[in-house]
Structure 1
């Protein structure tokens, strides 16, 4: 009688279904990571589109000699805001609409209230509010500051001020869902 030998298996042998499960999960993990990186790069590129063109336009067509910061405000249209200094060292702001390739407004050598001063003034008027953000904007053909906050009635508020600190005649308050 012939003896049949039992096949020996190595303790490191993994069943094929488990091996394929790990391969598929690894491939899905890799693909989702690649998609996340691609989305991040794509979105970030869109956020900063036009900043260099706005910087060049401000340097070439205005008194600004050095650019400190370029920000973007999304109002009726996309407005690039270039903050910089003149040759004399005075601060200036340039509001540019790149879609029309025009400078909307220049604020050079004028009294512009600092963001911290405006925030302190606003805080005195709205003590129970939760501050969110302050940024430069452009509304109704005028440069403005936009302050966002949550008021005492739990509304998300966009409040606008002129660059000298006076309240602008525009305010939006949105009721938040609980």
Structure 2
């Protein structure tokens, strides 16, 4: 009787271990698939920009998906001047939208200004955005009422252009 009891415990542990290993393997696979789809086209964009334009040292590529979709990145030109560049992902003529980084407020400065105006907020993310023909800073956070908020500041940091607030659906 004791031997069959031990066998049952052993098989239970083996099955649980196998299920955990399968779950961990599937989680890793799913993460890689999601991350690959999130960064799809970044390498192609980098190669295209570096070979077909005067910009080199393309770095910090990310996607912006607003009314129109863009690949957003920083790159240096032939004079080693840093630029913020938006590459439209749709349309026949995909002209680069180039912003001189000297004409914009730095990410750190805009965050400092934002945090001093909203000391009870919980910061989520900041990224460059492009809407209605204007480059913007998109700051996302949770406010004191735990609402999700998206603020759009002008790229020079002088004004708040738009704010979207989303209430929690479930409490």
Q: Normalising by structure 2, what TM-score?
A: 0.80
Higher CA-based Rg: 1
Answer whether contact 1:70 1:83 (CA < 8 A) is retained: yes
Structure 1 CA distance for aligned equivalents of residues 64 and 10 of structure 2 = 52
Structure 1 CA distance for aligned equivalents of residues 33 and 86 of structure 2 = 26
For 2:59, the equivalent position in structure 1 comes to 68
The answer to whether residue 119 in structure 2 is matched with residue 145 in structure 1 is no
If each structure's helix is expressed as a fraction of its own residues, which one has the higher value?
A: 2
For 2:17, the equivalent position in structure 1 comes to 26
Deviation at 1:166, TM superposition (A): 2.6
Answer whether contact 2:154 2:161 (CA < 8 A) is retained: no
After superposition, the C-alpha distances for 1:29-87 in whole angstroms (9 at most, x for unaligned) are 23222211211211121121111111123223443221121111121243110211112
The residue matched to 1:103 in structure 2 has which SS? Answer: coil
Classify 1:139/1:121 alpha carbon distance in 2 versus 1 (closer, same or farther; 3 Å). same
Q: Select 1:103's aligned residue among 86, 95, 108.
A: 95
For 2:106, the equivalent position in structure 1 comes to 114
Q: Select 1:160's aligned residue among 152, 163, 167.
A: 152
Structure 2 CA distance for aligned equivalents of residues 116 and 19 of structure 1 = 56
The answer for unaligned runs of 5 or more in structure 1 is: 1-10
Structure 1 CA distance for aligned equivalents of residues 116 and 73 of structure 2 = 29
Answer whether contact 1:68 1:85 (CA < 8 A) is retained: no
Classify 1:123/1:26 alpha carbon distance in 2 versus 1 (closer, same or farther; 3 Å). closer
Classify 1:52/1:111 alpha carbon distance in 2 versus 1 (closer, same or farther; 3 Å). same
CA RMSD of aligned residues (A): 2.7
Classify 1:108/1:59 alpha carbon distance in 2 versus 1 (closer, same or farther; 3 Å). farther
Give the length in aligned residue pairs: 168
The answer to whether residue 42 in structure 2 is matched with residue 51 in structure 1 is yes
Classify 1:16/1:150 alpha carbon distance in 2 versus 1 (closer, same or farther; 3 Å). closer
